[in-house]
Structure 1
Amino acid sequence: MDIEQVIDKSRRLEDLLRQHYHAKGSDLTQLVHSCDNRFPDDIVNKLNQLVTMHQQIVTTDASTSSSRDYQRFIDLCSECEQELMPRSSRLVWGVAVVLLGGITLAALGFYFYHWQHITL
C-alpha cells in the first residue's frame, strides 16, 4: 500500500474542488462541506465516503489498513474526479464566443455595406 498515492489522489481532488467549484477550506473535509450543496446527493455521498476513508487510511498504520480499503479509495477517487471534471475547457468556450462574434460582425458589415441596395 502506498500512502503517497493516497495523498496525491486527495490533493488532486482538493485542487479540483478549489479551482472549479471555488471550495474553501484547508483539507478535504472542509472543501467537501463548503461546496456540497452544488452537487447531486450521490456525488456528495461518494465524497463523504472518500473523506472518511482518507482519514482512516492516513491516520492508521499502513500495516493495519487493508489493501481492499486502499484500492476502494483509489477507485472512488477516480470516479469522483471523472464526475467532477468540467466537460469543456475555457478554450472551447472562447472559440465558440469568437466564432459567434465574428459571424455577427460579418453580418453587420454585410448589411451596413449593402443597406442602400436592399429594397423591400
Structure 2
Amino acid sequence: MSDIDLVVKQSRNIESLLKTHYHAEGKGLHQLITSCEERLPHDVIGKLRFIATMRNKVVHEEGYKLEDKAGFKATCKDMTDILTPRANRFLWKLVGAIVLLSTLASLAIYLIHWDNIKHLF
C-alpha cells in the first residue's frame, strides 16, 4: 500500500468518526478538529493535528515520503479506538449479571420441577 493510500484511508476514517460522533463541520481534517475541539479529549488534539499534517504533506507535497509508517498506523489506530464510542463498563457488567442470573434461575426451575417435566423428553 502506498503512502497516499494509507494516509488517505486512515484520515478518512478519522474524519468520519469526527463528523458522526462529535458533530464536526468543515472541509479538511484540521477544520473538523477545530470545529469540535471542545468536545474532544484534550490529549488527542495534538495527535489528530499530527495526522492531519501528515495527510496534507503526503497529498500536496510532491515526493514526500512518510518516514514512520508503523508509528503513523499506531497513532491512527489509537485515535480510532479513542474516538469510537463504547458502552460503559457498568452497562456490560449489568448485562452480564442479568444473563447469569436468568440462566441460574432457569436451571433452578428445571431442577425443582424435573420430576414433572422429565416425561416430556
Same fold (TM over 0.5): yes
Q: CA deviation at 1:64?
A: 3.7
Q: CA deviation at 1:58?
A: 1.7
The amino acid of 1:67's aligned partner reads E
Partner residue, 2:27: 26
Runs in 1 of length 4+ with deviation above 4 angstroms?
none
**Residues 22, 40 of structure 2: 8 Å contact kept:** no
Partner residue, 1:105: none
Partner residue, 2:105: none
Aligned partners of 1:49, 1:19: CA distance in 2, in Å? 21
SS of the residue 1:47 aligns to: helix
CA distance change for structure 1 residues 24 and 64 in 2, over 3 Å: closer, same or farther?
closer
**Residues 50, 73 of structure 1: 8 Å contact kept:** yes
Establish whether residue 85 from structure 1 lines up as the match of residue 99 from structure 2: no
Gaps of at least 5 residues in structure 1 are 97-120
Q: Report the TM-score when normalising by structure 1.
A: 0.64
70-79 or 3-12, larger mean C-alpha shift = 70-79
Gaps of at least 5 residues in structure 2 are 96-121
> What's the C-alpha RMSD, in Å, of the aligned pairs?
2.4
Q: Report the TM-score when normalising by structure 2.
A: 0.64
